[in-house]
Amino acid sequence: MIQTANLGYPRLGPRREWKRALERYWQGKLTETELHDAIRTVYRDALRRQAAFDLTWVPAGDLTYYDPMLDLAVTFGLVPARFREAYGYAGGPVSLELYFAIARGSDRVPAAEMTKWFNTNYHYIVPELDAVAAGRAPEIADNRPLQAYREAREVVGERARPVVVGPYTFVRLSKGYPEAAFAEVVRAFVPAYRALLRSLAEAGAAWIQIDEPALVLDVPAGDIALLHEVYGALVEAAAPAKLMLQTYFEAVEHYSDVVRLPVAGIGLDFVDGLADNRASVLRHGFPEDKVLGVGLIPGRNVWRADLEAQAAFLRELAAVVPFERMILSPSTSLLFVPISLERETKLDPALRDVLAFADEKLAELRLLARADAPDAEAEAAYRASAEARRRFFAAHPFPAPEAVTAEETTRAIPFEARKKIHAERFSLPLFPTTTIGSFPQTKDVREARARFRKGELDAEGYKAFIRAKIAEWIRIQEELGLDVLVHGEFERTDMVEYFAEKLGGFAFTEHGWVQSYGSRAVRPPIIYGEIVYREPLTVEETAYAQSLTEKPVKGMLTGPVTILKWSYPREDVPPEAIAYSIARALRKEVEALEAAGIRMVQVDEPAFREGLPLKRRHRDRYLDWAVRAFRLATAGARPETQVHTHMCYSEFGDIIDAIKALDADVISIETSRSHGELIQAFEENTYDKEIGLGVYDIHSPRVPDVEEMKALARRALRVLPKENFWINPDCGLKTRDVPETIASLKNMVAAARGLRAEL
Ligand code: GLN
Ligand code: ZN
């Protein structure tokens, strides 16, 4: 039997107990002790579930109250200065109040920045290293990995393997230091990491999984010496515990150098990094004194693995690395897939048969561990998995898309000319105000939907309810004095699920939740077959909203890249083929909205950047098809229709050409959490289209004040003409409560009015 390890497990709990505990605590319905108990219970249960699959090594790293990157920052006492002051923090353990303030903001201080974890839809809290860069060495203030390990040991004993993000990745993903100081900052972490690893070794860890996914990014050759120096020091401190240097999401850069690092094991991703990692191992070999972590069960998609092909691959690898020196694992943490298929009783059995969630993947891992000497039973199981996949995919052919033409992807007239038409058509004030689409999905909305799904409320009753919500919010928006209105998205559970439910080709789970950030979870649909436009998607609600007001109501669509990225796509179809067929469906919807009298259409692409390949050399190809898909969806719009897009983040520096190429009349972006930092990318590139500044951070319950939003906008206004700017929140408001939403929007409108008077 080959050894097996898991790299990480879903944190939400099988019934989202983790999420519920956090939210109840925030609402004041749980005490601190009750919260601790609830979170530990979910963690212990997860350990037990994993151990049941006979793993050799069970990851001890998913004990968190929000986000493991924040946990590690807190472990090192890295509390940003503004929080230190507001909460009087002077070192040592970090209180729950302070921890959640950093994560979510509080009435005293806005939240720390949150950003996507590599190219996934998981968001982490960005550590701030200003103090370290200024010379204050980090030290262990609150040893959270040790707590997680101790807890795990009680449950699964010596099989527990602590998981810690390594210093190279931690510093690369942090901010608050000049780029030139990178190596110095990494070195500054060495003593603290040494102490951390030593504490884990002393507590009995045999192996420690040290995650360095940043080694799959573009790694400057100059960093290799630094890695040798740092890992030399860490390995010594960790002894006798061994380090498994784990990479994932792509192939490792500088393979020959990395495998020479003094660690005992190197973990590689043979799914997303298959071609390059495989070529590296076969061509350059693998050191005889090391263990190879073979990440082979796909950690980020939900299809059952082709165990026959994987067993064959393992035999191929075994020519270089004997089975005894392999530790088999999923390719990544299983954070990105739901916990189990067990409760999914409504899926089509043929589809269910070719799916695998976290627990099923661990079962596959156990089976694959027999590939060193498979008996007839194992061989049969391997063959069955391959055949089931082949059969299902053949039964659901995905036709090659029609070629996308230049004519289809080009608007009838250029932006300059459209802008004039729009100015006349809409006669908006300077700094027009709008929102991103959704309004609070309050309890009444969730209850009405639940009753509708259970059949307690009929279709007419549900429709009447949605209409009443739309009418209520059109009135609120008019009272607030917003310039461009939205219908509020009350009919949508989720911006992808809603569209997927109306298009053909998607399947849905009942309980397949995955964490997006903090307590927020999403339920990605599964793209199993051809995408078909069967009926209008959004016309009824949007047209109804427009009938209630003279002001323009923006139609609200989710873009092709985002629908693709936030679903689990077919593995055997190129992503661009799927994106184009979604785009063709959306194109029909844009036409239908126009026919219903809608004058502005927003196509949200929050996942546009997340789809960007991690390696620069793969980026142009992706950007080419992603831009083409967006244009295919939108370029059919009439010249007088204003096309908006929205992206919830602020880093555009390296993709600004693609953003320009989208040819959207208006793009709304995040501005608040990055403190206006984003604008540079647009300034330096003389972006000429309109930009909506997300000056209100909707991820936090805090109500931003007028001056603060004005200051953020002013910062953006330094270079580009003021006529180009809109004022808006940085994302949809569905997760917020009504009072804070209204108060914040009131301030936002006041900020826009203030700016108009000032400038
Ligand atoms: N229109 C969507 C909303 O407001 C956009 C959400 C997003 O960008 N994530 O909810
Ligand atoms: Zn957004």
CB of 486 closer than 6 A to ligand 1?
no
Do the annotations mark residue 610 as ligand-binding? yes
Rounded to 5°, the CA angle 693-699-700 comes to 110
CB of 731 closer than 6 A to ligand 1?
yes
Task: Give 403: exposed, middle or buried? Use CB within 10 Å, 0-12, 13-18, 19+.
Answer: exposed
Residue 653 confidence (pLDDT):
85
Q: Whose CA is nearest to atom 8 of ligand 1?
A: 606
CA 608 to ligand 2 center in whole angstroms? 11
Q: How far apart are CA 27 and CA 619, in angstroms?
A: 43
Q: Quickly count: other Cβ atoms within 10 Å of residue 417's Cβ.
A: 12
Q: 3-state DSSP call for residue 342?
A: coil
Residue 677 confidence (pLDDT):
62
3-class DSSP string for 169-212: HHHHCCECCCHHHHHHHHHHHHHHHHHHHHHHHHCCCCEEEEEC
Helices 706-716 & 738-758 angle (0-180, nearest 10) = 50
CB of 331 closer than 6 A to ligand 1?
no
Q: 3-state DSSP call for residue 604?
A: strand
* Ligand whose nearest atom lies closest to the CA of 650: 2
What are 279-327's pLDDT values in tens digits?
999 999 999 999 999 999 999 999 999 999 999 999 999 999 999 999 9
CA 605 to ligand 1 center in whole angstroms? 9
ipTM of the complex: 0.99
CB of 734 closer than 6 A to ligand 1?
yes
What are 507-538's pLDDT values in tens digits?
999 999 999 999 999 999 999 999 999 999 99
Q: What percent of the chain has pLDDT over 90?
A: 93
CB of 606 closer than 6 A to ligand 1?
yes
Do the annotations mark residue 366 as ligand-binding? no
Q: Are 615 and 216 in contact (CB under 8 A)?
A: yes
Q: How far apart are CA 537 and CA 498, in angstroms?
A: 9
Task: Give 453: exposed, middle or buried? Use CB within 10 Å, 0-12, 13-18, 19+.
Answer: exposed
What are 660-692's pLDDT values in tens digits?
999 999 999 998 877 666 566 777 767 889 999
110 vs 718, higher pLDDT:
110
Residue 685 confidence (pLDDT):
66
Q: How confident is the model at residue 399 (pLDDT cuts 50, 70, 90)?
A: confident
Do the annotations mark residue 383 as ligand-binding? no
Residue 565 confidence (pLDDT):
96
Q: How confident is the model at residue 401 (pLDDT cuts 50, 70, 90)?
A: confident
Do the annotations mark residue 116 as ligand-binding? yes
CA 75 to ligand 1 center in whole angstroms? 33
Q: How far apart are CA 42 and CA 20, in angstroms?
A: 11
Which atom from ligand 1 is nearest to the alpha carbon of 648?
Answer: 8
Q: Whose CA is nearest to atom 9 of ligand 1?
A: 606
pTM of this prediction?
A: 0.93
* Ligand whose nearest atom lies closest to the CA of 495: 1
CB of 646 closer than 6 A to ligand 1?
yes
Residue 681 confidence (pLDDT):
74
Do the annotations mark residue 438 as ligand-binding? yes
- Cis peptide leading into 191, omega within 30 of 0? no
Q: Whose CA is nearest to atom 1 of ligand 1?
A: 437
In the predicted model, what is the mean pLDDT of residues 100-124?
93
Q: Is 699 a catalytic residue?
A: yes
Report whether pLDDT(204) > 90.
Answer: yes
To test the ligand 1 pocket, which listed residue (436, 608, 609, 699) has its Cβ within 8 A of the most ligand atoms?
436
Residue 675 confidence (pLDDT):
67
Q: Are 362 and 37 in contact (CB under 8 A)?
A: no
Q: Whose CA is nearest to atom 3 of ligand 1?
A: 732
CB of 436 closer than 6 A to ligand 1?
yes
Q: How far apart are CA 219 and CA 202, in angstroms?
A: 33
Q: Are 200 and 162 in contact (CB under 8 A)?
A: yes
CB of 449 closer than 6 A to ligand 1?
no
In the predicted model, what is the mean pLDDT of residues 211-225?
97
Which atom from ligand 1 is nearest to the alpha carbon of 435?
Answer: 4
> If residue 369 lies in a helix (H) or strand (E), which one and from where to where?
none
Q: Whose CA is nearest to atom 5 of ligand 1?
A: 732
Do the annotations mark residue 437 as ligand-binding? yes
In the predicted model, what is the mean pLDDT of residues 346-352?
97
Mean pLDDT score across all residues of the chain: 96
CB of 648 closer than 6 A to ligand 1?
yes
Residue 231 corresponds to which tokens in the numbers above?
Answer: 């890992």
Task: Give 287: exposed, middle or buried? Use CB within 10 Å, 0-12, 13-18, 19+.
Answer: middle
In the predicted model, what is the mean pLDDT of residues 700-719?
90
Chain-centre distance for alpha carbon 312: 33
Residue 715 confidence (pLDDT):
84
CA 670 to ligand 2 center in whole angstroms? 8
Q: Are 656 and 682 in contact (CB under 8 A)?
A: yes
CB of 556 closer than 6 A to ligand 1?
yes
Q: Are 273 and 216 in contact (CB under 8 A)?
A: yes
CA 88 to ligand 2 center in whole angstroms? 33
CA 389 to ligand 1 center in whole angstroms? 34
